[in-house]
Amino acid sequence: MEISLLQSRPEAITVLMSKALRIAPRQSTVFREELADIVGQLQELMDGIDEPQSESARKMAAAQAYIKDHFRDVKGEDVADALFMSYSRFRKLFKQEVGVSPACYIMDERISRAKERLASSSQPIKEIAFDVGFDNKDYFSTVFKRLTGMTPSAWREQSWKARLNE
């Protein structure tokens, strides 16, 4: 059995493992043990290989990366444009692949970044709100509380207390 470039990686690994197992009985004990170890490692590697991502999954992974890089001022329409897709198609694929709408994902990213800043700095909440893409501190506080169950100042206080107790 030869490996073909048309085979997937898991198939190619399986072919190589089969070949190794056919050769093993004709070899010395030391060689067979070494070969068994190699086959075991190949099996572990094979178990970790995922099937290739679909084109839409790759595009949505790129969309997530784009959002993470541009979270402050990005809109779903901007991401769709960057991927050369209509917004309606992008929104549908994003929700299908990621599980939430682009707008929710962007908002979650902004709040996540705000939580990091609140926990690690004494920067005023108004500045953090602006830095993560909110134009209004009150709207930021409302969204933050809706998504975390706490106000930004309560989150900061809890984070700092947790850090002191470590």
Model confidence over 84-124: pLDDT tens digits? 889 999 999 999 999 999 999 999 999 999 999 999 999 99
CA–CA gap between residue 18 and residue 22 (Å, rounded): 6
Looking at the fold, whether 62 and 92 belong to one and the same domain comes out as yes
Average pLDDT value for residue range 137-143: 96
Confidence tier at 5 by pLDDT (50, 70, 90): very low
Per residue in 15-57, pLDDT tens?
666 676 677 677 777 776 776 667 666 666 665 555 456 788 8
- 124 shares its domain with 86: no
CA 59 to chain CA centroid, nearest Å: 13
Residue 133 and residue 154 in one domain: yes
The answer to whether residue 36 sits within a structural domain is yes
Question: Residue 17 is part of which domain span?
Answer: 9-47
Nearest-angstrom CA–CA distance, 164 and 166? 6
**Burial category of 52 from C-beta neighbours within 10 Å (exposed 0-12, middle 13-18, buried 19 and up):** exposed
Total domain count for the chain?
A: 3
- Name every residue whose Cβ is closer than 8 Å to that of residue 33 and which is 6 or more positions away in sequence: none
Domain membership of residue 3 (yes or no) is: no
Residue at 129 is within a domain: yes
- Reduced to 3 states (helix: H, G, I; strand: E, B; else coil), residue 110 is helix
Amino acid sitting at position 105: Y
Decide if 63 is inside a domain: yes
Beta-carbon contacts of residue 73 (< 8 Å; ≥ 6 apart): 133
Same domain, 66 and 32: no
In a domain, 82, yes or no: yes
pLDDT digits (tens, 9 = 90+) for 53-88: 678 888 899 999 999 999 999 999 999 998 888 999
Would 42 be classed as within a structural domain?
Answer: yes
Based on the domain organization, do 152 and 132 belong to the same domain? yes
Shared domain check, 109 and 95: no
Residue 159 lies in a domain: yes
Q: Is residue 142 part of a domain?
A: yes
Tell me the pTM.
0.66
Q: Say which DSSP state 155 is in.
A: H
* Interatomic CA distance for residues 27 and 33, integer angstroms: 10
Residues 94 and 126 in one domain: no
